[in-house]
Amino acid sequence: MLSLAACLSLAAPSAMAQDAADDTATDAPTAAPATDDNPVAPQHVYILSTTTDPALEGVTARVGAAARAALRGVQGALWEEADRRYLGYDEATLASANAARAHLAEGRQAYLNLEFESAIDLLGQSVSEFDRAAVALEDPSDLGSALLFLGAAQTFAGQGRAARHVFNRVHRQFPHLSPDPNTFPPDVVERFEASGPRRSETADGTVHVESAPSGALIYIDYVARGYAPIDVGGMIDGEHVVRVLRPGATPFVQTIEVSHGHADDVNAFLDDDPDLAGLADGVAAVRDASLESIGPGSVLGELATLLQLDELGVIRVSAGQTTDTVEFEFMVFDTTSGQRLLRAHGPAPVAVGQLESAVGQLVTAAMQVALRPRQIQVHDADNGDVIPVGPGNSETHAEPLTHKWWFWTAIGGAVVVGVIVGVAVASRGGGLSSDPRGQVVFEF
């Protein structure tokens, strides 16, 4: 029996459209600042996703992409080097992505200050930098936000044709996005709606993608879709971006044209980095690996070594109770001790935007815990000792045991994500006591 020690509810947007249009939106919730009483232990971290259900491979790929994108919002998470090794891009690409986000923040502020010419210049630079960094983009929200604000600024500046072109790209490549009427005025919303596909254009285009070696991860317009060979449908006529990723290999990017429902096949040839030999096979092997520890010689241990990590997170995805939900199981391992630091689980919707938002909430809060050893303390009711839980301390410590898991529920139509922290103290016989005698203190 587990006791409920704390419950913290965090409001989560119901759709990515609100994230993209909101002038305060980011990829993931901003981490709390460090203080003397709330220290951050900067560590090299990364997150992978896996599933044993072939029908969930596309969703699982999206979960992994959203989790890695969320690391950017976690203070103390050193993710850049592992991300470059895993996705195969170079430092110049990372610099372009960082510059794009800086220009987005400045351009969005210029728009809010009614400085439309300046906003157009800054947001245009942001879009160009994002396009140059396409191989490194796993989360489409920043680029989608830049396009929405750029089109809005052009609308107010009297550049109707340019705004139509920008908004048409959003319709084609980000069909899940739209300007939030609570943020953008009616003129912008009307211009956006008028920029959608014409009657002569179809929304049933299909592209066939193959890779050599087979089994590479396929992104269409910055959203992970599954593994090659694959057919991706539902594409609006016009330009689309195809990215093919194999962990540890130079990525493949190609812009394709869909016309009247047809597009040329894409064949991607990927070369592995000799310094990362075995990375792709190791990632694939996570599906069948034990997720109890990360000891030497284990699949997780080898991956942590190749990616040069202090902590490795794994999200295992399984079918939900309904067809429009999935179940998460998220674990974070300390590579030095080989121990599992925390475990979380719960359901989430699969809809584009809602899934990514839920993953971002989960990863941000969980990694804040993992990087702050003093945030969670376990009080042993027998002797009053305080045992910190964090890097170097395992949730499988003999006495007591801590268990952490997440849940999602709908309240008033909004998705709410909460964390429950419970404690069970091991009995003298080695099993779990039915009457917990411990307490967890969860502090933010």
- Do 210 and 290 share a domain, yes or no? no
104 lies in some domain: yes
Q: Is 199 part of a structural domain of the chain?
A: no
Is residue 232 included in any domain, yes or no? yes
With tokens 């410590």, the residue in question is 397
Last residue of a domain, one of 223, 249, 269: 269
Domain termination site, one of 194, 219, 237: 194
279 in the same domain as 187: no
Q: How many distinct structural domains can be found in the chain?
A: 3
Note whether 156 and 107 are same-domain residues: yes
**Closest among 148, 144, 152, 145 to 115, alpha carbons compared:** 152
DSSP class of 74: S
Q: Are residues 51 and 134 in the same domain?
A: no
Residue 62, in any domain of the structure: yes
Residues 244 and 381 in one domain: no
CB crowding 342-359: b at 16 or more within 10 Å, else e: bbbbbbbbbebbbbbbbb
The conformation of residue 131, written as its DSSP 8-state character, comes to H
Residue 162, SS3? Answer: helix
What CATH number is associated with residue 213? 2.60.40.10
Q: Is residue 200 part of a domain?
A: no
Task: For residue 284, tell me if it sits in a domain.
Answer: yes
| Confidence (pLDDT) at 37 | 53
Which of 135, 162, 194 lies at the terminal end of a domain, its last residue?
Answer: 194
Length of the chain: 444
Does the residue 410 lie in any domain? yes
Q: Are 209 and 216 in contact (CB under 8 A)?
A: no
| Angstrom distance (rounded) from CA 258 to CA 240 | 7
| Same domain for 111 and 171 | yes
Q: Are 172 and 305 members of one domain?
A: no
Same domain, yes or no: 437 and 314: yes
CA distance 167 to 147: 7
CA distance 176 to 169: 12
Q: What is the pTM of this model?
A: 0.73
Which tokens hold the place of 345?
A: 């689980």
Question: Which residue from 203, 276, 270 is spatially nearest to 234, judged by alpha carbons?
Answer: 203
Radius of gyration of the chain (CA): 23
**pLDDT at residue 415 in the model:** 33
384 Ramachandran zone, left/alpha/beta (phi>0; psi -120 to 50): left
pLDDT of residue 4: 21
User: What number of CA atoms fall less than 13 Å from residue 251's CA on the CB side?
Assistant: 26
CATH number for the domain spanning 128: value is 1.25.40
What are 256's strand-pairing partners? 240
Instruction: Provide the pLDDT for residue 81.
Output: 94
Backbone phi and psi for residue 77, each to the nearest 5 degrees, phi listed first:
-85, 110
For 100, the domain range is 91-194
Q: Which helix (H) or strand (E) holds 405?
A: strand 401-411
254, β-bridge pairs: 242
Token pair of 230 as six digits: 């694959």
CA–CA distance, 66 with 93 (Å, rounded to integer) = 19
What is the model's pLDDT at position 5? Answer: 26
Alpha helix ranges (H) inside 278-412: 279-285, 299-307, 354-370
On whether both 162 and 184 belong to a single domain, the answer is yes
Q: Does 279 share its domain with 261?
A: no
SS (H, E, C) 191-232: HHHHCCCCCCCCCCEEEEEEEECCCCEEEECCEEEEECCEEE
- pLDDT by residue, tens only, the chain of 444 residues: 222 222 222 222 233 233 333 433 333 334 444 455 556 678 999 999 999 898 898 899 899 999 999 998 899 999 999 999 999 999 999 999 999 999 999 999 999 999 999 999 999 999 999 999 988 888 778 999 999 999 999 999 999 999 999 999 999 999 888 999 998 999 999 999 999 887 656 667 889 999 999 989 899 998 888 888 999 988 888 899 999 999 999 889 999 999 887 888 999 999 999 989 889 999 999 998 888 778 788 899 999 999 999 999 999 999 999 999 999 899 999 998 888 888 888 889 999 888 988 999 889 988 888 887 543 433 344 444 433 433 434 343 333 223 333 333 322 333 333 433 332 222 223 322 222 322 222 222
- 422 and 357 in a common domain: yes
Residue 297: predicted pLDDT? 83
Q: How far is CA 112 from CA 115, 126, 137, 156, 340, in A?
A: 7, 16, 26, 12, 45
String of b and e for 44-69 (b: at least 16 CB within 10 Å)?
bbbbbbbbeeeebbbbbbbbbbbbbb
Handedness of CA 90, 95, 101, 107 (dihedral sign): negative
- Are 243 and 357 within one domain? no
Could you tell me if residue 133 is inside a domain?
Answer: yes
